[in-house]
Amino acid sequence: MARRDGPQDKPLGPNCVHLCVDMQNLFAEGSEWHTPWMKRVLPLVEQLVEAHPAETVFTRFIPAAHPGDGEGTWKEYYQRWSKMTLEALPPGMVDLVPQLARFVPPATVIDKGVYSPWLETGLDELLRQRGTDTLVISGAETDVCVLAAVMGAVDRGYRIVVPKDALCSSSDAMHDALLGLYSQRYGGQVEVGTVEQILELWR
């Protein structure tokens, strides 16, 4: 499908939810998992949350408790990242960054142990109970947990709008590639726009 310049000119409506992925201290400065762009995109993510706090669901990535925990390749993953396990991390590292934590409540938080927020979290059930048909998906990282969130939402039939200026990654090339993927290969199911455009459609 041809690439679109911005989201569809269609209101997001009362059944829209902002799914904000993994904007945590874990990925802020001072961590081995530091995502350099987070500081830059945080004000734009904050704009989205502030406009619709009760319609925001935050996800938090919760690492394994100990090195070598997890199934299959996750065991090797946490042996490699032993300093990022819960037993090694300072208190508060899995928390949302303070600029966003202040919106909880009314915003909701769900925790996950893998990249996807759709597995064993009850997220889909939560959204269906609220009558959600549209998701604005922001956060970290564009090419990892945000990708998992978007693809799971595609499979479940949600209208998806991705704010390209409210995503962050540690790889410029992969970030750009994913935005192209969303627009070109998934243009019928994923809309890409700016925070300004999205807020204009979500009043």
* Domain assignment of residue 83, yes or no: no
Other CB atoms within 10 Å distance of the CB of residue 75: 14
Q: Examine residue 6 and state whether it is found in any structural domain, yes or no.
A: no
Which range is least confidently modeled, 4-8, 12-16, 177-181? 4-8
* Segment (H or E) for 19: strand 16-21
CB 18 within 8 A of CB 54: no
Amino acid sitting at position 170: S
CATH number of the domain residue 25 falls in: 3.40.50.850
User: Structural domain tally of the chain?
Assistant: 1
Q: 9 lies in a domain?
A: no
Rounded to a whole number, what is the largest CA-CA distance in the chain?
48
Q: What is the pLDDT of residues 84-134, one digit of tens each?
A: 999 999 999 999 999 999 999 999 999 999 999 999 999 999 999 999 999
Q: Which pLDDT score, from 0 to 100, does residue 1 have?
A: 32
Task: Tell me, yes or no, whether 121 lies in a domain.
Answer: yes
Q: Which domain holds residue 180?
A: 16-64+90-201
Q: Examine residue 37 and state whether it is found in any structural domain, yes or no.
A: yes
Does residue 152 register a pLDDT over 80?
A: yes
DSSP 79-114: HHTGGGSTTTSPTTTTSBPHHHHTTTTTSEEEEESS
Residue 203 to residue 193: CA distance in whole angstroms: 16
Q: Is 78 within a domain? A: no
**153 inside domain:** yes
